[in-house]
């Protein structure tokens, strides 16, 4: 009996050793290309755990992020709303961050220190990220958490402006309180995508007030249950940073260098959205079909978003409608009727799943050389 137990122990040891250094990257790992001059960081800076009204321990958030191949996350517990505090007493509002930081130690994941400042309308909810201490942000009045966040050099964004629990018509309105915060340099960004909702009105507010465009999951349950098993990804913010570091990420957020992504939906300023989509589509093969002036071009989508395009060229397609999708990670052949044999053309496509303003799609151009 003893020997058998020993044998089982021996057999299980290698697994334990391997377990120390194994990768958590799952089948749902996200991938987006870098753009010229920047590293593309995949982030979700709005999440909850049992340290506010979420349902999981902070280590699960770290493991979920590793499975989805994210670069940075923030656990932004409600400072004021603490439904589990009887069961999990924690006078220190930094605990969630500290536990996540400990969990991430052995892994290549950036943990951003954050908190959700929680008020009813017209103040609403805001996330302060890159804080140094959450406790002083806890206050009775509405304005002092923002003053304190600024003192800590935090990046602050307005959460779910269109949330129907606070906005029954789903129409966000920038309040005088928020206008004051923007004027004081205390509010820097806005969620245009939160959970499952993309708000065109929030995008317009971002553009009108030069706020950084954000997309976040605001996850309370499990990423697997809410997104992955439905064949979806969580909303994320791609941040174009000079390097893969917390300081680079912080600086890029303040400069508004982002694109919010939710599956096949991409929302951002043209100067970042255009190079992102351009880099996401790689031209693989170019040749004329024998004895024709029909140019066959093979395109590969190296991003994790299905890309929906409309032909924006004077030339039409053979065997393909003008509106088509290149699925994430897949290739697609276009047959372009160029009428004459050309040695180069500009492939020009309108990205129909991408928005630089409400109802405005960017046009992307690739120069194609024919050998
Ligand atoms: Zn909230
Ligand atoms: Zn939240």
pLDDT in tens, the chain (371 residues): 344 444 444 444 444 444 444 456 666 899 999 999 999 999 999 999 999 999 999 999 999 999 999 999 999 999 999 999 999 999 999 999 999 999 999 999 999 999 999 999 889 999 999 999 999 999 999 999 999 999 999 999 999 999 988 888 989 999 999 999 999 999 999 999 999 999 999 999 999 999 999 999 999 999 999 999 999 999 999 999 999 999 999 999 999 999 999 999 999 999 999 999 999 999 999 999 999 999 999 999 999 999 999 999 999 999 999 999 999 999 999 999 999 999 999 999 999 999 999 999 999 999 999 98
In this structure, what token pair is assigned to residue 259? 């694109």
For residue 121, the model assigns a pLDDT of 87
For residue 149, the model assigns a pLDDT of 98
For residue 12, the model assigns a pLDDT of 44
Residue entry with tokens 């276009």: 334
Instruction: Quote the ligand 2 centre to 272 CA distance (angstroms).
Output: 26
DSSP 122-173: TT-EEEEES-S-SGGG--SSSSHHHHHHHHTT-EEEE--TT-TTT-TTS---
Instruction: Quote the ligand 1 centre to 158 CA distance (angstroms).
Output: 9
Q: Which ligand is nearest to the CA of 159?
A: 1
* Helix axis angle, 58-67 to 95-104, nearest 10°: 40
pTM of the model: 0.92
Q: Which ligand is nearest to the CA of 218?
A: 2
**Whether domain 280-369 has CATH 2.60.40.10:** yes
In this structure, what token pair is assigned to residue 303? 């991003």
H helices present in 162-303, as ranges = 176-183, 200-209, 223-226, 246-254, 270-280
Instruction: Quote the ligand 2 centre to 322 CA distance (angstroms).
Output: 40
**Phi (first) and psi of residue 26, to 5 degrees:** -105, -175
For residue 166, the model assigns a pLDDT of 87
CB of 76 within 8 A of CB of 104?
no
Instruction: Quote the ligand 1 centre to 96 CA distance (angstroms).
Output: 17
Residue entry with tokens 């630089």: 356
Instruction: Quote the ligand 1 centre to 160 CA distance (angstroms).
Output: 7
Instruction: Quote the ligand 1 centre to 297 CA distance (angstroms).
Output: 46
For residue 20, the model assigns a pLDDT of 44
Q: What CATH number should be reported for the domain whose range is 24-263?
A: 3.20.20.140
CB of 312 within 8 A of CB of 322?
no
Q: Which ligand is nearest to the CA of 124?
A: 1
Instruction: Quote the ligand 2 centre to 76 CA distance (angstroms).
Output: 7
Instruction: Quote the ligand 1 centre to 77 CA distance (angstroms).
Output: 9
DSSP 77-133: -BSS--TTTTTS--S-TTHHHHHHHHHHTTSS-EEEEEEEEE--TTT-EEEEES-S-
**Structural domain boundaries of the chain?**
24-263, 280-369
For residue 164, the model assigns a pLDDT of 87
Instruction: Quote the ligand 2 centre to 49 CA distance (angstroms).
Output: 10
Q: Which ligand is nearest to the CA of 53?
A: 2
Instruction: Quote the ligand 1 centre to 237 CA distance (angstroms).
Output: 17
Instruction: Quote the ligand 2 centre to 136 CA distance (angstroms).
Output: 19
Q: Give the neighbor-by-neighbor strand order of the sheet with 331-337.
A: 281-288, 294-301, 331-337
64: helix, strand or coil? helix
For residue 14, the model assigns a pLDDT of 42
For residue 27, the model assigns a pLDDT of 60
């Amino acid at each position: 009996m003893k020997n058998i137990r020993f044998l089982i122990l021996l057999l299980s040891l290698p697994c334990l050793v391997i377990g120390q250094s194994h990768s958590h990257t799952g089948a749902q790992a996200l991938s987006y290309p870098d753009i010229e001059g920047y590293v593309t960081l995949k982030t979700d800076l709005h999440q909850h755990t049992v340290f506010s009204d979420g349902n999981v321990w902070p280590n699960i958030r770290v493991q979920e992020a590793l499975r989805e191949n994210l670069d940075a996350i923030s656990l932004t517990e409600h400072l004021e709303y603490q439904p589990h505090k009887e069961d999990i007493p924690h006078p220190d509002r930094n605990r969630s961050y500290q536990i996540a930081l400990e969990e991430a130690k052995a892994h290549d994941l950036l943990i951003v220190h954050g908190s959700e400042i929680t008020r009813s309308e017209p103040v609403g909810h805001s996330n302060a990220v890159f804080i140094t201490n959450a406790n002083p942000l806890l206050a009775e009045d509405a304005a002092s958490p923002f003053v304190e966040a600024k003192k800590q050099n935090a990046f602050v964004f307005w959460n779910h402006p269109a949330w129907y629990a606070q906005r029954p018509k789903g129409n966000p309105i920038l309040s005088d309180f928020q206008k004051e915060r923007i004027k004081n340099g205390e509010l820097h960004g806005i969620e245009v995508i939160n959970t499952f909702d993309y708000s065109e009105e929030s995008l317009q507010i971002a553009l009108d007030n030069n706020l950084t465009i954000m997309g976040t999951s605001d996850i309370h349950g499990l990423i697997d249950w809410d997104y992955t098993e439905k064949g979806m990804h969580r909303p994320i913010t791609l941040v174009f940073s000079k390097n893969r570091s917390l300081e680079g990420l912080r600086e890029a957020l303040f400069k508004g260098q982002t694109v919010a992504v939710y599956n096949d939906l991409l929302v951002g300023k043209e100067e970042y959205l255009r190079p992102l989509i351009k880099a996401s589509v790689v031209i693989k093969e170019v040749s004329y079909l024998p004895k024709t002036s029909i140019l066959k071009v093979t395109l590969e989508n190296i991003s994790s978003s299905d890309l929906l395009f409309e032909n924006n060229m004077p030339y039409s397609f053979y065997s393909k409608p003008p509106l088509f999708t290149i699925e994430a990670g897949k290739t697609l052949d276009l047959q372009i009727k160029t009428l004459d044999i050309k040695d180069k053309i500009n492939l020009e496509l309108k990205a129909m799943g991408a928005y630089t303003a409400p109802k405005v799609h960017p046009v992307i151009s690739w120069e194609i050389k024919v050998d």
